[in-house]
Amino acid sequence: MKQVKVFLNEKDIPRQWYNLAADLPTPLLPPLGPDGKPISPDMLAPVFPMNLIEQEVSSKRWIDIPEEVLDILYRWRPAPLRRAVYLERFLGTPARIYYKDESTSPPGSHKPNTAVPQAWYNKQFGIKRLTTETGAGQWGSALAFACNLIGLECKVFMVRISFDQKPFRKTMMQVWDAKCIASPSNETNAGRKVLKEMPDTPGSLGIAISEAIEAAVTDPTGQTRYSLGSVLNHVLLHQTIIGLEAKKQLKMASEKLPDIVIACAGGGSNFAGLSFPFVADKINGANIKIIPVEPTACPTMTRGPFAYDFGDTACTTPLLAMHTLGHAFIPPPIHAGGLRYHGMAPLVCQGIVEGLLEPRAYHQLVSYEAALTWARTEGFIPAPETSQAIAAVIDEAKKAKEEGKEKVILFNYSGHGLMDLSGYDAYLSGKLTDYELPEAELKKYIKDLEKLPKAEMRKTGKW
């Protein structure tokens, strides 16, 4: 039997995170304040603790992981690298398909890789309470889990549609002693405004972010901060433990570098976590195809312009240079709730502009079909977000078969789908349909960007 699981010992866990900002051939454009000028780190201080702001703006290549953070991560890390031999056999592909199994964390996804350090750095800074938003509920439950272990209060604004579709995610947050509120809510000015204009809105991550930021910055005690589960540089940094482990494990499986790296991308964190250590190899000359995958219903990377935009609907965040569908974008209620964000991590977007990354979009139905193929060969039931990556993996494995090439494909199994069975139920009973964002809708949403500063597309032209 071929080796299907590769485990690392605790002593082999990476002890530093990798920061792609140190190696990007073209630097990131700076975040801008309301006056259109680059913001200074202290302007972020009401929202984030200074120790995380330092990571956000750092250009150091390697950043130490605190021992106390590792001590919590050992509960599930190092995470297994598995080889999908049963899928390979089913497809009859010469490709070798490896996946990093991030579904083994207590909340069931990659999200605690950053929830734990974020909670830890906040606690170190003397903060008592964190607020956040959540789409699918994976991030909210991950932060609830981390805050509970570290001793912080946690309040989660959950996008209305997911709150209704995934009641058990809310229960998980309550088990870990957090408060979970449907967004838009009546608890904030941002939420009340949206509810007045659109009482039946399914909500969006952009609205929930506005609410969570407002709840943090209006705490009169000054002991509340906001925590974001994706998009920002420090979040992506924390996730690189995935790719750093995968590198060691591929070596143990006698593989060199992968030919293809794939992950789904909502705000970009699990994609960045797996791929950035390999993007560094690509910058240094390796030939690797690196594919972030998104839904056709929320085609940020494949159809959204590269522009300065706000990270939230109420326009409270700094302006970030990124691919965006416009901050007013309200996505259709597809089940991959974690992939419905209007923007994308600036580091991922700069990689796209530079030509290092090749984004791709998949329809909902083909992703569910891929998820069933996976569950009926490998056995595990993937999260709907993860299924988008699996759809791309299956395509690439079929292509390798057509070409008769022994490609090594590595992808991120970002989470399990055991809390997402209502989506599977809808698919199996034929209630789901594909949705492609109409051009006229897209134009309407991105019209707002015309009033904002323009983002220059800087690239070396090497890729």
Ligand X SMILES: Cc1ncc(COP(=O)(O)O)c(C=O)c1O
Chain residues that interact with ligand X, rule: CB under 6 A: 109, 135-136, 138-139, 230, 264-271, 338-339, 383, 385-386, 414-415
Rounded CA-CA distance 19/238 in Å is 9
Give the closest residue to 260 by CA, choosing from 373, 378, 358: 358
Torsion angle defined by CA atoms of residues 142, 265, 204 and 419, in that order, rounded to the nearest 10 degrees: -50
Q: H-helix or E-strand containing 295?
A: strand 289-295
Q: Which is nearer to ligand X, 91 or 383 (CB)?
A: 383
- Minimum CB distance to ligand X, residue 405 (Å): 28
Task: Rank residues 268 and 452 by Cβ distance to ligand X and give the closer one.
Answer: 268
CB of residue 136 vs ligand X: minimum separation in angstroms?
Answer: 4
Positive or negative, the Cα torsion across 264, 267, 272, 274? negative
Amino acid in position 24 = L
What residue number has its CB nearest to ligand X? 338
Radius of gyration of the chain (CA): 20
**For ligand X, the closer CB: 138 or 233:** 138
Q: How far is the CB of 366 from ligand X (least distance, A)?
A: 17
Exposed e or buried b per residue across 95-119, where buried means at least 16 C-beta atoms within 10 angstroms of its C-beta: bbbbbbbbbbbebbbbbbbbbbbbb
For residue 292, give the amino acid letter. P
* Nearer Cβ to ligand X (33/167): 167
Q: How far apart are CA 420 and CA 380, in angstroms?
A: 13
**Among residues 277 and 415, whose Cβ is nearest to ligand X?**
415
CB of 204 to ligand X, least distance (A): 13
**Count of residues making up the chain:** 463
The helix (H) or strand (E) run that includes residue 400 is: helix 384-403
In 78-178, DSSP assigns E strands to 81-83, 96-101, 129-134, 153-159
Min dist. Cβ of residue 273 to ligand X (A): 7
- Kindly state the smallest distance separating residue 137's Cβ from ligand X, in Å: 8
Closer CB to ligand X, residue 93 or residue 131?
Answer: 131
How many CB atoms neighbour CB 403 within 10 A? 11
Nearer residue to ligand X within complex by CB, 142 or 149: 142
**Rounded least distance, CB 176 to ligand X, Å:** 16
